[in-house]
Structure 1
């Protein structure tokens, strides 16, 4: 990030009445965006779905069918974590993104579950999970076409997928990649509330605002391990 301090680029100072007018004008757009997101979610609920074959993945206790990833629930979300063979540190973006999901019990009343799937061998994947302090369950699709079939092939990028189960039959209902995953993160919405925003060069910011390369403010894999892995904050 730029070494500039907020004093070199700050919003104009106005009286409380003028500030309230500007906030109220912005609120109109924010409320419109909220209603649009509601409409998008309604359309998502009406999407058709596609039936999947009976994949077998690898879990901590051995082979596991895709339907068993649901753990008895009817809905499943999988985040497909990028994997680099023979690398000590995996994708920093994936590692930082997944480190948010430490408390997932809130999904239980919705009959849903969230897990991580990666192309890495299960032993290596579990060791990496522990090294960086992630808590959710991980599964490996190495040796299975499952990852490739849901847009997360070996050597490829990350993906977020949603599935619905009817008995032993699993259907794929929704998927996204790239910035589409931001909607399930809390990090970006919080940073976007800040006056200086993400401070990345691609963003539309006032002249003089501190801006740097994309991803410059993100935690890397080693940062996540230092903060939340063994001996980090999660161990306090």
Structure 2
């Protein structure tokens, strides 16, 4: 548990950290974060559902702006500490979610209602953030580290925004709209893959699988780039299953 008290490494980049300074997956620290996030989302949903429409919009605005602040604060810290580079840009799927949520929220403010594009947030970005919390790539950092705190809070916000839209009845997924998240991925994955190849980055984990994740297990079994086929099948099935679940819950 000594990782809890590594206060002197709060802003230290992973390359300069002592060996084995990260927190274990599904250990005590990890479970505390998962439980805290689940409870916070539950309570915030309770609060949200009791609010009038204008107050709900203000709450959604606040969460989108908070997610943007998380992104820009991380970039600022990386820049100040000299670690901002082509591999630290906001090009992961969950990073792109913030800008997509901003786009959605602006449409909601302009039109007064959600359209089917919000299903991309609910059936793609939200489950992606859940997986991010379950298998955090920032586990290489100590428990008390900016990247750890940022990672959990940011991904919680990515889950929270579309979930609030769903529980309030503002977004109701229809299976006939499944083409939207699929098309979205088809549009962003190729350029991200090419960017990865050019700058030796690994956005969206499509050039090599991160350690301690199901993708790494898959790659160990069928190789790289073979794991990408399983990756794609898993994502499609995940989206399809979520559409079915959300359809039945209505």
Decide: shared fold, TM above 0.5: no
Which protein is richer in helix relative to its size? 2
TM-score normalised per structure 2: 0.29
TM-score normalised per structure 1: 0.31
Which protein is richer in strand relative to its size? 1
